Amino acid sequence: MKSLFRNPFILLIVVALLWGGNAVAGKLAVGHVSPMLLTSLRWLFACVFIVPFAWQDAVREWSLIRQHWLTLFLYGALGFTTFNALFYWALNYTSAINVTIEQSAMPLIVFLGNFLLFGLRPVKLQMLGFSLTLLGVLITVAHGDLSSLLSLDLNRGDALMLLATLLYGGYTVALRFRPPLHWRSMIMVLAFFAFISSLPFSAYEYMAGYTIMPDARGFGVVLYIAIFPSLIAQSLYMRGVDLIGGNRANLFINLVPVFGSVLAVVILSEEFKTYHFLALSLVVGGILMAEQGVKKSLAHKSVY
């Protein structure tokens, strides 16, 4: 088991699977629990589940947590709360397949952020791989009709998902600045700040009359999301970033649409259209090409 936790590729594939399931769960929640309340309940239950395991770590590292509380709050508020609020809101207007494919735009944000802030230059194959991925995302956003991009005739859900993707890409870049906390206390603190920062969203939703209290299905979705995409996937993702860096780790998010699309077809009976197949082919080809570029670059450096 310890050897598996040291293998970044297995960890990040599991992350992609769980996040693909998150889109399906979010779609199942539509009409059974409102998106902002879902976000708040997600992080509330995540806190409840993680506290027994992380409390001693957090107490031991309290001085470090207090010193970096603002950074940690921003991680929780932007990377966790706002991303997920936009994510679940988007699913009210577009399909789970679209949402998972559109997440593949994240590497662009990570590449650009790492280049602008740290001068990290992607190799040529990485850029070519990213370009294929971006084309796949654009085809999905345009629902197979790229001319709609020129007229800005975009589905509201797709636009919301692109904004969410921008936020999480920025969060991935910013993880470089996180304090050296144990992963358990890190997740506990971020889940707590995510819950606190989600309350204004839920309050606004309630005052606007849009709140839907969870029924049996809604409650089941909340539990699934709190345990798997929230606690387990976020922890494994941080570990993956530690092992191979943000640029390479973020590429594995491109596997999210593969798992998400399969789950959406099997569980939600969503229609898998020709442009989805084309987009997924570009996304998968992009990640394989980019990873190959990294391997060649590392091999070249080892020779010299």
- Helix (H), strand (E), coil (C) string for 56-104: HHHHHCHHHHHHCHHHHHHHHHHHHHHHHHHHHHHCCCCCHHHHHHHHH
Retrieve residue 44's tokens.
Answer: 């509330």
Q: How many whole angstroms from its chain centre is CA 239? A: 14
What percent of the chain has a predicted confidence (pLDDT) above 90?
A: 29
d(CA 67, CA 282): 44
d(CA 247, CA 172): 9
Contact 248, 222 (CB under 8 A): no
d(CA 276, CA 169): 23
Most confident of 1-5, 185-189, 197-201: 197-201
Q: What is the pTM of this model?
A: 0.77
Give, in degrees to the nearest 5, the angle at Cα 123 between 132 and 115.
95
Residue 213, SS3 per DSSP: coil
Whole-number pLDDT of residue 38: 93
d(CA 25, CA 195): 19
> Is the dihedral angle over the CA atoms 76, 81, 82, 83 positive or is it negative?
positive
Whole-number pLDDT of residue 189: 94
Whole-number pLDDT of residue 158: 83
* pLDDT-derived band at 296, boundaries 50, 70, 90: low
